[in-house]
Structure 1
Amino acid sequence: MNKLCMAAGLAMALLTSCSKNSEDTQVTPAPTETSVTGNVEGIWKKGNTYKVTGHLQVPEGKSLTIEEGVTVLMSDSIVKPEILIRGNLYSLGTAENPVKFTVPDAWKTSANLFGNLWGGLIAGPASTELVLKNTILEYGGAVTTEESPSVKAQLYKAAAGEHVPVLYTSNTASKVVVTNSIIRNFNEDGFYLEGGKVLITNNTFHTTGVSGGEAINIKSGVQAEIAFNLIYSPNTNALKLSNGGDKTPQAYVIAYNNTIVNAGWRRPTIKGGSIWLEKTVRADVYNTLLVNDRFGIKRDKGAPEDTRSVIANNYYYGYTQTGVDQFQPSTEIVKGTNDILGTKAGDNDPKLVNYPLSTASLNATYSTSWDFHLQAGSPALGKGKTDFTRLYKSGLSVNGVTYTSPEPASYIGAFGTK
C-alpha cells in the first residue's frame, strides 16, 4: 500500500511539473496586421499593426486603448485619414515599445519631410480624457476637404483647406496628458488646444511647419503645464500662448524647464520666434533655455498678456549678432526677472554636450546624435527657479492613473548634466 501511495504521489508530481513547464514555455502569438476604418473602440493589442484604410472615429461614450508596441499605419494615400475622438483615447506605449502613428516606410522621403500624409487627432466637445504616453506621431498634418470628419463636425477651424494639427482639443472640462512622446514631420501646428486641463511633459518636437505653425498653440479654455520639453526648429514659435476665443476659464499656462532651439527662422513673415504672448493670456515662464532663436519672448503690443504673468530665470544664447540683437528687451521683447542674456554673438555659451551652435538657422533636419544635456561647468547650471506654484503638483487623474507635473529643476533647460 505504501508503495502504491508513493507511486501515485510521484505521478501527480510529474503531471504537475509537466503542466507548469508547459505554461512557462507558451509562445507569445506573433504580431498580426488588421485593417481598420470607421468606428473603433476597445483595446488594440500589444505589438500588433492596425492598418488604417479610411477615417477613424472613437464614438461618444466609448474608449480606445492602444497598448505598447502597436503600430497605427496610415495607409490610405487618397483619403489621408483623420482620427475623430468623440470619446476617449489612451495611447500607452513604453520607452522600450512606443506606440507609433506613422506611414509606410516607402513614403518617408525627403519630399515628404513635413508629412501631409494623414490628418491628426481631433478631440470633440464630448471627449473627456486623452493620454499620449511614449507615443510617436509623424508625417501627418494633411489639408482638410469638405469631406474631412473635422470639417463635417465643425471642429478645429471647421473649413476646407486647413492643415490638421497633430492634436486638437475642444472640451474645457477634458483632461489631456502627453508625456515622453515624439512629435515630428508634421505640416503645420503640433498641438492646437482650445480646451482642457493639460499636462505636456518630457516630449520632443521637431521638423514641424512648412510655412507657418507653432509646436504648441494654446487658446482660451486651457489650463496647462508645459515642462521639460525639447522643441527644435518649429516654423514659428515653440509656444504660442493666447487667450483668444470666448471660452472660460482664462488660458493659464505655466511653462518651465523647456529647451527651444532654432525657432522661428523658417517663417516667411515676421511673427515671433520662440514664445509668443497675446490677448490677456496668463503665462508664467521659467527656466527656458533659448538657443539661436529668431526672437526673444515676444508679446503682441496691441493685445498683451495678463499683468499677473511672471517671466523669470530664462537663458539666451545667439550664435549670430542678428539673433542676439533680436532678443534684447524692448516694448515687444519681454525681459524677465533674473533672465540671462548677453549683447554680443557667442555670449553665454550654454555648453551643450553635443550640438553644433553654428548649425544653420534654417535647418529643420533633426539629428538623433545631438545631445542637449549640459556639460559640467555650464553657466546654465544652478540658475533655475524652483519656488513657484504648479497647477498639477498634486496630480491630474486620467483613466485611474494620476499624472503629476515634474518638480522644477535648479538648472535651466530641459536637461541637466548626465
Structure 2
Amino acid sequence: MKKINTMAGMLLAAATAMFSASCENDNINPYDYVANNGNANQGSTNVIKTAVAEYPVGSLVWSNDTTLSESVEIPVGTSLYIEPGVTVTCKADVQVPVEVVVLGNLYCLGTAEKPVTFTSDRKKPEAWGGIICGYNSEEVVLNHVDIAYAGATPTESSASFQNKLFKTTIDGGVPAFHFCNVNGKFVIANSFFHDNYNDQTYFTGGNGVIAGNIFADSGNAADGGEAINVKAGCKLDVANNVIYNACTNAFKLSNAGNSEVVPLTDMTVYNNTIVDCGWRRSKNKKGGSVWVEKAARPVFVNNLCYDSRFGLKQPKQDGADMEHSRLTPNYYYASTATGVEQMAKGASLGIWFDTDIKSATAGQFDPLFKLFKQNAGMDINCEVDDPDKGAPLAFDKAWNFDLQQGSPALSGGVTDFARIFPNGIPFFGMKKVNFLDSANDQNYYFSAPLPQPRFGAWL
C-alpha cells in the first residue's frame, strides 16, 4: 500500500507536464451560495499551478494518466484533485487488490468531453477493489467519472481492511464506491458506473447528491449486487439516473447497517429509470427493482421500472416505515406475462398502490424508449448471467432511455415535494481551486434537478 506523502505529491504535481482542458459548467451557478457572501472560486495565494488550474499548497494533483500496482491512501486532511481526461489504470495481476482509500478528500474534475476514468488493465469485473472512503473523509466529488471493473475481495493486507473500512471480515468484494462519514458530503454526477462485480455504490452515512448517472451491469450471479445501496445515517437526493441490469436490486433502501445513535436516513428518490433488474434471486423471492426495509422512509416517486422483477418490495417484517414514506406514483412496465404476475396486486412481498401505473397485460403502457434493444429471450427470473439463457444484454452506450413523443410515461408524475438539498451542497475544496479561465471554471456546489411531472430520467 502506498501512503502518499503530501509534500512529495505536491512537488511531483508541480513538476509534471500538464495539459489544457475545456470544462463544462452544468450545475447551478457557483457564485450564488449565500453563506459565502456570493464569492466566486477564490483560489489561493500560494498555489500549485497546472495548465488547468491553481490548487492550494498541500494538495495532491494528478494531471497525467496513472497506473497503480498497489493501493493508494489519501491521508486525513489532504485533498487529491484529478484533472479532466486522466485515466487511472489499476493493475489486476497483484497479490493485494488495488484500492483507492480516501481518508481525506477526493475531487474528480471530469467533463463531458474529458471524463476521469478508473479502469483496470484486465478490463473484466473484480479486477481491482474500489474507491473506499474513511470516517473522516469530508468531501468527495465524482463529476463526469467512468468507474469500471471494481469489486475485488480485499485481503487482511488491503488498505480498506487495515483502516477498518467497509468490511471487518473477509467475506466478499467491496463496492466500486463507498462513503461512510455521517457528517461528510459527496456528489456523484454525470458519471458512468459499469461492469463492477458487487454493489456499484454503498452508503453508511453522508450527505449526498446522486444525479444524471448511468449504472450498468451491476453485480454477479453468485454474490449479487445493487446499483445504489443505502443504509442509516444518510441524507440523499437521487434523481435522473438510469439503472440497467442490477442483478439483485436497482435500489436497496434501509435504515440498518449502522449504530443506533446514527440518525435515520432521509432521501428523495425521483425521476429515475430502472431496466432489467433483479433477475438473480427468484428462488428465495428477494431482489427486484426496489427493496425497502428496516424502517426506511423515502420519498420514492416518478420512477420508471421496465421489465424488472417484482417492482417495489419489502420484507414480511421490518419493512419500510409506511407512515412516513411516500412511495407513489411510480410507473411499472412488463413486456411478459410473468412480469405482470409478479407486479400484480397481492404478489408476495409486493407494495401496491392504486395511484401507480402498472401493466395489467403484457406490453401494456410501453413507455416507448427512444432507443433500446431488449433481449428477445429475456427471462426476469433467469438466475444466470448469460444472455442466451435470458439474462440482459450487455449495456450499449448507444441506447437512449429518454421517452419518445406520445409516450404514456410523459405525464402523471408529481412535483409537490421538497428535495433534501434544494439549494445544493457546497464543496469547499472546489471553491479553493482557481481555474485559469472561464472555459475551465467548474462549480463548487451541486444540486439535484427539480422533479419533473413525468416518469423516469430524461437525457
TM-score higher than 0.5 = yes
Change in CA separation of 1:184 and 1:284 when aligned onto 2, cut-off 3 Å: same
Cα distance, 1:225 vs structure 2: 1.1
Q: Distance in 1 between matches of 2:281 and 2:113?
A: 35
Cα distance, 1:266 vs structure 2: 2.8
Q: Distance in 2 between matches of 1:187 and 1:100?
A: 17
SS of residue in 1 equivalent to 2:339: helix
Cα distance, 1:28 vs structure 2: 7.0
Which amino acid letter does the alignment assign opposite residue 111 of structure 2? T
How big is each residue's C-alpha offset from its partner over 1:193-235, in whole Å with a ceiling of 9 and x where there is no partner?
A: 0000011000001111112111110000011111000000101
SS of residue in 2 equivalent to 1:131: strand
Which of structures 1 and 2 has the larger relative contact order (alpha carbons within 8 angstroms, sep 6+)? 2
How big is each residue's C-alpha offset from its partner over 1:339-381, in whole Å with a ceiling of 9 and x where there is no partner?
A: 1012211111111111134542411511122211111100001
Structure 2 residue aligned with 1:414: 457
Cα distance, 1:398 vs structure 2: 1.1
How big is each residue's C-alpha offset from its partner over 1:153-174, in whole Å with a ceiling of 9 and x where there is no partner?
A: 1110222232010111111000
State which drifts further: 308-317 or 264-273.
Answer: 264-273
Q: CA contact under 8 A between 1:319 and 1:358: conserved in structure 2?
A: no
Q: How does 1:240-255 map to 2 (within 5 A)?
A: 240-244=252-256, 245-246=258-259, 247-255=261-269
Structure 2 residue aligned with 1:384: 413
Q: CA contact under 8 A between 1:350 and 1:374: conserved in structure 2?
A: yes
Which amino acid letter does the alignment assign opposite residue 273 of structure 1? G
Cα distance, 1:238 vs structure 2: 0.5
Change in CA separation of 1:94 and 1:227 when aligned onto 2, cut-off 3 Å: same
Structure 2 residue aligned with 1:58: 74
Are positions 1:257 and 2:271 aligned together? Answer: yes
SS of residue in 2 equivalent to 1:380: helix
State which drifts further: 323-332 or 401-410.
Answer: 323-332
- Between the two proteins, what is the percent identity of the paired residues? 38
Q: CA contact under 8 A between 2:281 and 2:287: conserved in structure 1?
A: no
Structure 2 residue aligned with 1:193: 203
Change in CA separation of 1:80 and 1:364 when aligned onto 2, cut-off 3 Å: farther
SS of residue in 2 equivalent to 1:325: helix
Q: Distance in 2 between matches of 1:218 and 1:321?
A: 31
Structure 2 residue aligned with 1:16: none
Structure 1 residue aligned with 2:62: 44
Q: Distance in 2 between matches of 1:54 and 1:357?
A: 40
Q: CA contact under 8 A between 1:88 and 1:130: conserved in structure 2?
A: yes
Which consecutive residues of structure 2, in runs of 5 or more, have no partner in the other structure? Answer: 1-16, 22-57, 380-390, 432-443
Q: Distance in 1 between matches of 2:289 and 2:85?
A: 33
How big is each residue's C-alpha offset from its partner over 1:255-285, in whole Å with a ceiling of 9 and x where there is no partner?
A: 0000000000134643120011001111111
Q: TM-score normalized by structure 2?
A: 0.78
Q: Distance in 1 between matches of 2:290 and 2:218?
A: 16
Structure 2 residue aligned with 1:351: 368
Q: CA contact under 8 A between 1:144 and 1:159: conserved in structure 2?
A: no
SS of residue in 2 equivalent to 1:253: strand
Structure 2 residue aligned with 1:365: 394
Structure 2 residue aligned with 1:405: 448
Cα distance, 1:80 vs structure 2: 2.1
Cα distance, 1:41 vs structure 2: 5.3
SS of residue in 2 equivalent to 1:238: strand
Q: How does 1:308-323 map to 2 (within 5 A)?
A: 308-323=324-339
Q: Distance in 1 between matches of 2:185 and 2:178?
A: 13
Are positions 1:395 and 2:411 aligned together? Answer: no
2:157 to 147, 153, 159: 147
Q: CA contact under 8 A between 1:206 and 1:233: conserved in structure 2?
A: yes
Q: TM-score normalized by structure 1?
A: 0.86
How big is each residue's C-alpha offset from its partner over 1:79-134, in whole Å with a ceiling of 9 and x where there is no partner?
A: 32011111000111000000000122xx23xxx3xx10000011111101011000
Q: CA contact under 8 A between 1:396 and 1:404: conserved in structure 2?
A: yes
Change in CA separation of 1:252 and 1:364 when aligned onto 2, cut-off 3 Å: farther
Q: CA contact under 8 A between 1:293 and 1:318: conserved in structure 2?
A: yes
Q: Distance in 2 between matches of 1:350 and 1:259?
A: 11
Change in CA separation of 1:391 and 1:29 when aligned onto 2, cut-off 3 Å: closer
Are positions 1:305 and 2:333 aligned together? Answer: no
Structure 1 residue aligned with 2:250: 238
Which amino acid letter does the alignment assign opposite residue 317 of structure 1? Y
SS of residue in 2 equivalent to 1:241: strand
Structure 1 residue aligned with 2:212: 202
Which consecutive residues of structure 1, in runs of 5 or more, have no partner in the other structure? Answer: 1-26, 32-39
Structure 1 residue aligned with 2:115: 98
Q: Distance in 2 between matches of 1:117 and 1:293?
A: 28
Q: Distance in 1 between matches of 2:411 and 2:374?
A: 22
State which drifts further: 62-71 or 157-166.
Answer: 157-166
Change in CA separation of 1:76 and 1:304 when aligned onto 2, cut-off 3 Å: closer
Which amino acid letter does the alignment assign opposite residue 405 of structure 1? A
SS of residue in 2 equivalent to 1:151: helix
1:182 to 189, 192, 201: 192
SS of residue in 1 equivalent to 2:101: strand
SS of residue in 2 equivalent to 1:54: coil
1:88 to 105, 126, 144: 105
Cα distance, 1:76 vs structure 2: 4.7
Q: Distance in 1 between matches of 2:199 and 2:351?
A: 24
Cα RMSD for the two superposed structures: 1.9
Runs of 4+ in structure 1 over 4 Å off? 27-31
Structure with bigger gyration radius: 1
Change in CA separation of 1:260 and 1:30 when aligned onto 2, cut-off 3 Å: closer
Which amino acid letter does the alignment assign opposite residue 44 of structure 1? W
Q: Distance in 2 between matches of 1:83 and 1:219?
A: 22
Are positions 1:277 and 2:292 aligned together? Answer: yes
Change in CA separation of 1:386 and 1:75 when aligned onto 2, cut-off 3 Å: same
Cα distance, 1:29 vs structure 2: 5.8
Cα distance, 1:30 vs structure 2: 10
SS of residue in 1 equivalent to 2:269: strand
Change in CA separation of 1:383 and 1:61 when aligned onto 2, cut-off 3 Å: same
Which amino acid letter does the alignment assign opposite residue 378 of structure 1? S
Q: CA contact under 8 A between 1:310 and 1:336: conserved in structure 2?
A: no
